[in-house]
Amino acid sequence: MTDTTTAQAPAQESGLVPLPTATARALILIGAVGTIASTFMSWTWTDEFPGDLTVYGYPAGLQIIALVAGLFTLLHGLALQGVKPLRFLNPAGATSPVFLMTLSGFTVCWFTAIAIAVDLGGLANLDPGAYVAMVASAIPVVGALALPGTTLKDYITKSDQPRPTRLGPLAERLVLTAGTTIALIVFTYGIGIDDEDSETFIGYLLLIIFAVWSATHAGLLDRYADIGRRHKGFAAGLAFLAAAIFPFTQSDDHNANLGVSILIFATVALGLNIVVGLTGLLDLGYVAFLGVGAYAAALVSGSEFSRFSGVQFPFWAAALTGMAASLVFGVLIGAPTLRLRGDYLAIVTLGFGEIFRIAVNNMDGSSGPNITNGPNGISQIPDLEIFGFNLGVPHDIGSFTLGRFANYLFLMLFVTAIVVLVFTRAADSRIGRAWIAIREDETAATAMGINGFRVKLIAFALGASLAGLAGTVMAHVNYSVNPQPYKFADAVPPNSAFLLAAVVLGGMGTVSGPLLGASLLYLIPEKLQFLQNYSLLAFGLALVLLMRFRPEGIIANRRRQLEFHETGQLDIPEQQSLPEGTIGAAKATKAGA
């Protein structure tokens, strides 16, 4: 046994690049320092490239992103050297987190150099700092490839991490506070990148992807999620506090407008998550319920183009009207169709979504009754006024001026909190357990006494009413409603395809999953303007990759994660003879564990 271990030791210490481990660790540190130093040099001679990378001693644009990547690589390198305060970054000293982190700086620096050459017309436009960045960022990759690993798969495959010891309640709350602060900084920086500066946003995405990938392999995200589950209320409060602070970090009200749109999109996706994620019903026309709520609120909000122009409900009444209209349509559509299953139900809901769009397009007084003003829609919807507070007027709070969209952002935070509360309470209730039973096996659930039709109808109606609530706010934010946005698939969200993708991408059956998925699907097309004509292709490819490598979504529900990643059988040597009953006892022990 000792001889076998000794013989295998050199193989475990070898890497793809034949260098001693000490040299490999030194290369990681040297390359990280070089990458950081290069960001204080000029990368190009002209300021025509976004971000103005011409200044010595002052990083800007993609240089800041490369600086952060180099700093993270340096921290991982110091953790490998045994610096105690940094051991939490990689407790097991695994190879894959370090390698993935080195790729962040490498991809950002090389992408920047290539982008400069392509945009400005040749390598002659690169200053010495760009060449230093390219060479320096490649050195840590070489060093990481010299760390233990026999194939390239070893460098991108998650390895086992030691189970962390629990921290005290105060320390865990501090960790949650730090994590929320970092998330706010990252989101604020990303949303603040100019819409025309697609190169900087691509570099930002590259850094985020590899940093999150590395943190996942190091077990940091799993540990953070465990802490969040033990302090759900505190974590949720921090998330809403961070969202409330966001408007005070922005000087441009356009970014607050993006925040409002993301929250509307995310809230509707969370309502769809009740239908798809909890109940397992494939709804391809869900965006129609958003439209029903928006049109119902627009009709009673005092617009001169409304069929009922003399009627102006207060916000709470308009919101209840939108919710009630969507609820009624949810029941009317669900009652005759929810006895269908699978693809048949999907086809019927897809048809409902198209029927709604065509119907409101024809209700113009000539092709049909004069209710929705046809393709022109209902415009000039007045801003909301709540308790004498006009959301359309900028307001000063101390030295900060909150514009119109910042005001609506706070309103949407309140609406999102209501939807999150309804979702969590419903999911943890008796009806929520019935939804999950229907999703897992409707036949078995019915055999156990669950009224499948009634349970599914409740889910359909509740999801529709939540979408109607979000539609009420959307109508006032956009000043108008028209049939154009309510398609099954379009280059611009929200539409049914993007809503479904947000749920699947983020993680079905979770609260934070659809919120994250909706944020990504709305923000990325907004910042990468050149992809708008290919957005459907891009998000289709993203879904294919997601289904291949992480079918449970970015933020996985534990039940679904176990379904998609079965642990397999016991590792018992085939040729080893075991006493009778040993295998059964071993399996029983494993099941109990």
pTM strictly above 0.85: no
Cα dist from 479 to 294, 303, 333, 383, whole Å: 11, 9, 28, 8
Looking at the chain, how many residues does it have? 593
Tell me the helix, strand and coil percentages in the chain, rounded to 5.
Answer: 65, 5, 30
- Given its phi and psi angles, is residue 52 left (phi above 0), alpha (psi -120 to 50 degrees) or beta? left
Q: Return the exposure string of 74-93: e unless at least 16 CB atoms fall within 10 Å of the residue's CB, then b.
A: bbbbbbbeeeeebeebbbee
Three-class DSSP category at 400: strand
Classify domain 10-161+194-221 at the CATH topology level: de novo design (two linked rop proteins) (1.20.1440)
Residues 6 or more apart from 317 whose CB is under 8 A from it? Answer: 300
Q: Which two tokens stand for residue 184?
A: 């706010």
Domain boundaries, the chain: 10-161+194-221, 258-381+401-485
Q: Give residue for tokens 């490839």.
A: 145
CA distance 505 to 215: 19
Residues 6 or more apart from 174 whose CB is under 8 A from it? Answer: none
pLDDT tens across the length of the chain (593 residues): 334 333 333 344 567 888 888 899 999 999 999 999 999 999 998 888 888 888 888 898 899 999 999 999 999 999 988 888 888 888 888 888 999 999 999 999 999 999 999 988 888 889 999 999 999 999 999 999 988 877 888 788 777 777 777 788 899 999 999 999 999 999 999 888 887 788 899 999 999 999 998 998 888 888 888 888 888 889 989 999 998 898 888 777 788 888 898 899 889 999 899 988 888 888 888 888 998 999 999 988 888 888 887 788 888 898 999 999 999 988 888 888 887 777 788 888 888 888 888 888 888 878 778 888 888 888 888 888 888 788 888 877 877 888 888 888 999 999 999 999 988 888 888 888 898 888 888 888 888 888 888 888 999 899 999 999 999 999 888 888 888 888 877 666 677 888 888 888 888 888 888 888 888 888 888 888 776 667 677 777 877 877 777 777 777 766 665 555 554 433 333 333 444 443 343 433 334 43
CA distance 69 to 396: 38
State the chain's maximal CA–CA distance in angstroms: 91
Residues 6 or more apart from 166 whose CB is under 8 A from it? Answer: 172
Residues 6 or more apart from 258 whose CB is under 8 A from it? Answer: 191, 522, 523, 526
Q: Residue 385's beta-bridge partner residues?
A: 390
What's the DSSP call for residue 165?
P
